[in-house]
Structure 1
């Protein structure tokens, strides 16, 4: 993933609300969200090169999502970041313990942020800063730096999500949530970060929804977990910026 907005613990109906975009090279093979044949407890899309994933949930309510850390000067690392999400979803270890073990291997992976937990607890870890955070109730966002770094897409998306949830304390509209991450407006130059990719690329990567000739937003996901454990998972797939199809799943968390 390259952008994750989420509400945790404050909404009267939904304990967790996630709205996220996955940005990737268009020709990297992947499967849309499904329950995996080899790991039938996992609901997630799947990267077919390394067989990991960027965002998913298990039938027992374990949730994980990952973004890359943008810094072209960082060296390549031997292990795929997508295995981090996969491993958390298939294991039963406590989120804090999982991160402690992950931190011991932080240099095996390229730069990343990962959110792990369930409806009762969420944790964040960034391997570049070796930064572990317990996530407190509220609206949060992570793109390609660290949790709640005020990049334009983070600030704008968080504000829209806060306002929408404040104005809709009851049931939420999934289409309205998707609109938060469909924003294609390029941020003003004076608001752009300097991540080492050059000004033109910073502009191109500044919208929530990215559309470049060979790279961009491949899918968007809305995940809802209500306070009695009902899960709604909706994924929209795009091809070169154009909508292709939607997949929806609903189930109740198994204790």
Structure 2
């Protein structure tokens, strides 16, 4: 997962709006979002190589998502799949603070990452690079391959577009997906310098990435309304074809959304 845009308690009807793009090599085997056989309470896509995921929700109102932290040094390390961090929280029952503390203590051989975990009323974002956790405050947030709200052009552009879309009393689903489909490349003087070279910085700069071997594999919109109903819609792209998976859950009997 490489781009997350979130609106936390920033809309009168939807206390949580989450937009997410997963960027990955096209050859990596992937299952479209569904309920998992080995964890029936979890709904999300699946990395068929290692069994983890990049984004998921549960019937008990748990949410988790991941972005990698871009660091060329991580490319030569051999570690565990970071998707396990997401699936571990979704399959668990403890609160987010306890889960993140266990990650710190275990300090497994993972490349750099940002992990978003929690419930719709309280989301925490942990960065392995800083070993710090932030509680998401009300407002519009963006997370790519650096830290929460680092003002990369794609993050700034996505946050502004989401803020504009949420001016509507009932945000349009297609408008939200259009934000995730933005292929705009910023000028070179606005690109970050993460040590991967200018050509790769250019390729990775849009919200929606396309190249010969690597790019955006799926776009997801999660809408949670004030009555506790969650709508999760994922659009996947494989070999020039688009497919869609969706679910609606009623969490009103599970938690009170402020």
TM-score by length of 1: 0.95
User: Which residue in the other structure is 1:11 paired with?
Assistant: 11
- RMSD value over aligned CA atoms? 1.2
- Deviation of 1:219 after TM superposition, in Å, equals 0.3
Task: Name the CA distance, whole Å, in 2 between partners of 1:184 and 1:192.
Answer: 15
- Deviation of 1:10 after TM superposition, in Å, equals 2.1
| Cα 1:35/1:207, change in 2 over 3 Å | same
User: Which residue in the other structure is 2:217 paired with?
Assistant: 218
Q: Deviations over 1:10-30 (max 9, x none)?
A: 211111111110000000001
User: Which residue in the other structure is 1:26 paired with?
Assistant: 26
- Deviation of 1:100 after TM superposition, in Å, equals 1.5
Gaps of 5+ in 2: none
User: Which residue in the other structure is 2:226 paired with?
Assistant: 227
User: Which residue in the other structure is 2:249 paired with?
Assistant: 251
User: Which residue in the other structure is 2:175 paired with?
Assistant: 176
The secondary structure found in structure 2 opposite 1:23 is: strand
Does residue 1:127 correspond to 2:128, yes or no? yes
The secondary structure found in structure 2 opposite 1:162 is: helix
User: Which residue in the other structure is 1:110 paired with?
Assistant: 111
- Deviation of 1:77 after TM superposition, in Å, equals 4.2
Task: Name the CA distance, whole Å, in 2 between partners of 1:162 and 1:172.
Answer: 10
- Deviation of 1:232 after TM superposition, in Å, equals 0.4
The structure 1 segments of at least 4 consecutive aligned residues displaced by more than 3 Å after TM superposition are none
Query: Retained in 1: the 8 A contact 2:165–2:172?
Result: no
Residue-pair matches, total: 252
Gaps of 5+ in 1: none
Task: Name the CA distance, whole Å, in 2 between partners of 1:160 and 1:202.
Answer: 22
Query: Retained in 1: the 8 A contact 2:80–2:108?
Result: no
Task: Name the CA distance, whole Å, in 2 between partners of 1:224 and 1:181.
Answer: 15
